[in-house]
Every structure is written in structure tokens, then in C-alpha cells.
Amino acid sequence: MEAIRGNPRAILGANRYCATLVEHVQKPEPLLDLGKLALTLRPANKAEKERLAYVLWEAGRSALVESRLESAKELIASAKALRVDGVSDYHSLDRSEPWKSPFEKDKGLAKLLADLESGALDAAQHKVKGRSAKAGKAGKVILRLSDKALGDLAGVEGGDPPLPRFGAWDHLGRFQ
């Protein structure tokens, strides 16, 4: 990916690679790596700004979902600093409608973004990590964390566990 830096078509390539990662690969690591690289690119015109904004917004979303709060802050702030809407060539050419920010489409992501910007996510993670460090110094292990505390640590909303804790699935797909 380092070869992209310095190439006059770097932003175009980053935009198309980002669309592939978002739409098909759907794994955070390559998108976060692309986001780090995108932070070093400098757009020369409005079209490049729009393409770069798309990369930064999507990488910021991925960082936020993965609870990499410092990276998310940096990527999202850089996207906002461009002061343009993101444009994805993939969506413009291959889809019936242009790309829309995931923070506009998904209320859960919008809430996470608001919590990131207000410092609420940092405070929640700091609280849980502090509790863990305090228990570690006392030689104790935290055996039980509430679903909310786990969600705060992971950067997602806590709630019911995804699967019931006890029981088994029968041959008809019913949980007993």
C-alpha cells in the first residue's frame, strides 16, 4: 500500500480500494491501514477531496466500531476538515444512488459518533479499565462484568447476550 503514496492517482486508487474493502472484504484491518495511509494524502482539487473524504469516513467508521477511539477521532476529524461530502466512484457508477455517510444512515452509528465527540466513550472505557487495573493491583480478578460494562469496554451498546447461556438447540432449530 505504501506504493500508492506519491502517485498522482493515489486518491482515486484509495477510493476504489476502499469501496472494495467496504462492500466485499468487510474486515477492519485493511480498511484501518488504508485510513492511516489516507491521512498522508493531500487532495489537489474538489473531486479529490470528495473521494478522500469517503475513504476517511469509512475508515473512521471502522475504527469507531472496532473501539479504536484515537484512530476514529483522527480519521473523522480529517474527513470533517475537508468540508465536502464523500463520493464513492463505486456507488456513483455501479449503484442507483450515491454513497451516503454511514453516520447518517445508521442511528446506532450516529449515537456512537456523538458519544465519541462528547467524550462519553472515552469516559466509559476509562472507567472499566480503571476498575480492572484497581482489581489487578489488589490481586483480584473481576469475574463478573455486566453486559453494559462489557459493551462500554468494547465500544458498543450492552444488552442481552447474543445467545442464551444454557440449553441446547434441537433438530428443528428450537432452543430448549
What CA–CA distance (Å, rounded) separates 109 from 98? 19
Q: What is the DSSP letter of 22?
A: I
Structure-block grid coordinates of residue 144: 463478573
Q: pLDDT grade, residue 163 (50/70/90)?
A: very low
**Which pairs with CB-CB distance under 8 Å and at least 24 residues apart come from 18-21?**
18/54, 18/55, 18/58, 18/59, 18/88, 19/54, 19/88, 19/89, 19/90, 19/91, 20/90, 21/58
In this structure, how many other beta carbons lie within 10 angstroms of the beta carbon of residue 8? 8
> What pTM was computed for the model?
0.72
Give the chain's radius of gyration (CA, Å): 20
* 6 φ/ψ sector (left φ>0, alpha ψ -120 to 50, else beta): left
User: What average pLDDT does this structure show over 2-9?
Assistant: 67
pLDDT in tens, 16-35: 999 999 989 888 999 999 99
pLDDT in tens, 76-122: 999 999 999 999 988 777 667 788 888 888 888 888 889 889 988 88
Amino acid, res. 91: H
8 A C-beta contact, residue 43 and residue 31: no
Structure-block grid coordinates of residue 159: 444488552
pLDDT at 15 over 60: yes
76, containing H or E segment: helix 69-81
